[in-house]
């Protein structure tokens, strides 16, 4: 009976921590996969895995990093399983089929989401964990299993590439990764000249 009394507060605290982190998990998952429904599924799977493994969590350690690592691993497992399947995302299709009016000074969230999806997975992941998720470099290193220097370099490259993708072809691309430079050159060549 003593064991159940001492275990109950731990389960209650664990439940409270899970409930508090769900919005962050959903946001991280959405950034990783770019699909709202899949993101919700990933977040739910991560919560279920964490709940099943709650006895392996050490209270007092970084709960956020532990949960993000579970979600990240779930994302990559899902992607590996579905690597041969194609998915239909009606929102993405609509964004591709409908041309938006040119934006001069405003950046819309959909522009940022589209640009994020064009980044290499490692850079996108770091931008989401550190930039959007508010994790420290140390937490990001723990979540991804990378060295802190790797976290910093992926984050820096991701920021440069994201800015270049959002701001358009007229900006300086000197610091842009070669793959993105080539992608932008092709995109710029395929656009009609301005004013004609």
List pLDDT tens digits, range 110-152: 777 888 888 898 888 888 888 777 888 998 898 889 999 999 9
Residues 6+ apart with CB under 8 A from 178: none
Pairwise CA distance, residues 114 & 3, whole Å: 51
Residues 196 and 117 in one domain: yes
Residues 80 and 111 in one domain: no
Residues 80 and 134 in one domain: no
Within a domain: residue 91? no
Query: What is the residue range of 72's domain?
Result: 1-84
Pairwise CA distance, residues 88 & 32, whole Å: 16
Residues 111 and 74 in one domain: no
Q: How many domains does the chain have?
A: 2
Residues 44 and 7 in one domain: yes
Residues 79 and 115 in one domain: no
Rounded to the nearest 5°, which phi and psi values hold at 149? -60, -40
What are 111's two structure tokens? 């522009």
pLDDT averaged per 10 residues in sequence order, the chain, 196 residues: 48 86 90 88 93 87 91 88 62 50 59 84 88 84 90 90 78 52 49 49
Within a domain: residue 19? yes
CATH number for the domain that contains residue 61:
1.10.1740.10
Identify whether the C-beta of residue 139 lies closer than 8 Å to the C-beta of residue 66.
Answer: no
Within a domain: residue 97? no
Give pLDDT, residue 10: 55
Give pLDDT, residue 96: 47
Residues 194 and 111 in one domain: yes
Give pLDDT, residue 188: 46
Give the C-alpha distances (Å, rounded to integers) separating 55 from 14, 51, 120: 10, 8, 35
Pairwise CA distance, residues 171 & 159, whole Å: 14
Within a domain: residue 96? no
Identify whether the C-beta of residue 147 lies closer than 8 Å to the C-beta of residue 86.
Answer: no
Within a domain: residue 1? yes
Within a domain: residue 100? no
């Amino acid at each position: 009976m003593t064991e159940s009394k001492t275990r109950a507060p731990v389960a209650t605290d664990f439940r409270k921590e899970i409930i508090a982190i769900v919005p962050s998990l959903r946001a991280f998952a959405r950034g990783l996969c770019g699909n709202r429904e899949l993101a919700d599924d990933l977040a739910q799977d991560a919560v279920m895995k964490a709940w099943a493994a709650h006895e392996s969590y050490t209270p007092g350690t970084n709960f956020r990093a532990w949960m993000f690592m579970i979600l990240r691993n779930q994302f990559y497992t899902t992607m590996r399983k579905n690597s041969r399947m194609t998915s239909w995302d009606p929102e993405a299709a609509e964004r591709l089929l409908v041309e938006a009016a040119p934006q001069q000074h405003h950046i819309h969230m959909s522009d940022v989401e589209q640009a994020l999806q064009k980044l290499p997975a490692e850079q996108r992941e770091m931008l989401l964990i550190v930039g959007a998720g508010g994790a420290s470099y140390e937490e990001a290193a723990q979540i991804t299993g990378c060295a802190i220097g790797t976290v910093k370099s992926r984050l820096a490259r991701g920021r440069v590439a994201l800015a270049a993708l959002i701001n358009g072809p007229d900006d300086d691309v000197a610091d842009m990764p070669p793959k993105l430079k080539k992608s932008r050159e092709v995109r710029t060549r395929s656009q009609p000249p301005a004013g004609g």
